[in-house]
Amino acid sequence: MKAIRVKSHGGPEVLTLEDIPDPKPGAAEAVVKLEAAGLNYIDVYYRTGLYKVQLPLTLGLEGAGVVTAVGPNVTEVRVGDLVAYTGVAGAYAQLAAVPAARLVKLPEGLDAKAGAAAMLQGMTAHYLSHSTYPLKPGDWCLVHAAAGGVGLLLCQMAKMRGARVIGTVSTEAKATLAREAGADAVILYTQQDFEAEVKRVTGGAGVQVVYDSVGETTFDKSLNCLAMRGMLALYGQSSGPVSPFDPAILNQKGSLFLTRPSLFHYTASREELLQRAGEVLGWIKAGKLRLRVDLTLPLSEAAEAHRRLEGRQTTGKVLLIP
Ligand code: NDP
């Protein structure tokens, strides 16, 4: 089969399309014939080496397609099921062997592209808005990179919970998308001081939670945007990692909470995975949650997809088609 492999860390040019042996299902595994793979910012961290991973590696943590074989002791899926998954490396490929306990059957009416677009970013938006800081009606939240893959879904889910949303984006075109996703106010954080704008919009009160995926360039001011006893959910670092930090600052700025969550700890059990995925996929099917697939490229153009994601040229989801 064909797969995109990383043999050494580096820029998008290290992504190479290779022929490697077809996977066979081990015990408790199923082989999925992938129809779409989701691109996510974590793929960039794996490629550059910011996150430590064993090389060589087939990249990609999100995919969807049809089960073509199952190993011993598989009870969760059958050959022929249309499934989606996240959290298992190897989705930039034509086939993937996946622990069956990580597979979710897609509801009728949703295709593999929707599945590959929903699992990682959708469940991330879900756990941030429903579990890490469960938004209440009337809360203010600040969503950085609001027109991104997670961002557009998080704005919509925050509105579903009755919260008021301030989004940050880098361009006017992205601002329009964030507003369409429900943001009550949008700040062009590349041109405006977002801390001053958040204070202005909230009448000086600040927000109950900041969902910060940008990291290095936003972290300090994100803390300053919080109301007393507010929470900073630092869930990514698209601009670079945050420098070492003195916890006493949380006291000085108003008994704040800081967390650095990961989707994998919010879908660790099969029960939690099925509950979160079920809600996200159900909302998409019911038309309550809109997926925006901005760009679809063949698998062979994975390097170009990475260039655009890192170059802040994408909005919503990017898919690779094997
Ligand atoms: P996005 O679609 O949000 O793309 C990244 C966006 O970040 C860009 O479009 C850009 O938006 C913004 N950005 C700001 N500064 C930079 C910079 N210097 N370089 C590149 N981009 C920048 O990606 P994803 O939705 O896939 O992921 C968003 C973030 O969430 C990532 O940091 C990712 O690692 C994290 N994440 C964390 C998870 C977790 O469980 N902890 C799970 C899923 C994602 P703009 O141009 O508007 O500034």
Domains assigned to the chain: 2-120+269-321 (3.90.180.10), 136-260 (3.40.50.720)
How many CB atoms sit inside 10 A of residue 231's CB? Answer: 19
How many CB atoms sit inside 10 A of residue 251's CB? Answer: 10
Per-residue pLDDT at 171: 98
Ligand 1: residues whose CB is within 6 Å?
40-42, 120-121, 124, 145, 147-151, 169-170, 174, 213-214, 235-239, 261-263, 309-310, 312, 314
Q: Which of 213, 259, 276 to mutate to test the pocket of ligand 1 (most atoms within 8 A of CB)?
A: 213
Query: Residue 238 Cα, ligand 1 centroid: separation in angstroms?
Result: 5
Any idea what DSSP says for residue 93?
B
Both tokens of 317, joined, read 């989801």
User: pLDDT tens, 139-157?
Assistant: 999 999 999 999 999 999 9
Both tokens of 89, joined, read 């490396």
62, 36 contact by CB (below 8 A): no
Inter-axis angle of helices 149-160 and 172-180, to 10 degrees?
Answer: 30
Largest Cα–Cα distance in the chain? 60
Ramachandran quadrant class, 173 (left: phi over 0; alpha: psi -120 to 50; beta: rest): alpha
Query: Residue 181 Cα, ligand 1 centroid: separation in angstroms?
Result: 17
Instruction: Give the span between the Cα atoms of 292 and 118, in whole angstroms.
Output: 10
Instruction: Give the span between the Cα atoms of 163 and 263, in whole angstroms.
Output: 22
Residue with the smallest CA separation from ligand 1 atom 31 is 236
Per-residue pLDDT of the chain (322 residues; tens, 9 = 90+): 999 999 999 999 999 999 999 999 999 999 999 999 999 999 999 999 999 899 999 999 999 999 999 999 999 999 999 999 999 999 999 999 999 999 999 999 999 999 999 999 999 999 999 999 999 999 999 999 999 999 999 999 999 999 999 999 999 999 999 999 999 999 999 999 999 999 999 999 999 999 999 999 999 999 999 999 999 999 999 999 999 999 999 999 999 999 999 999 999 999 999 999 999 999 999 999 999 999 999 999 999 999 999 999 999 999 999 9
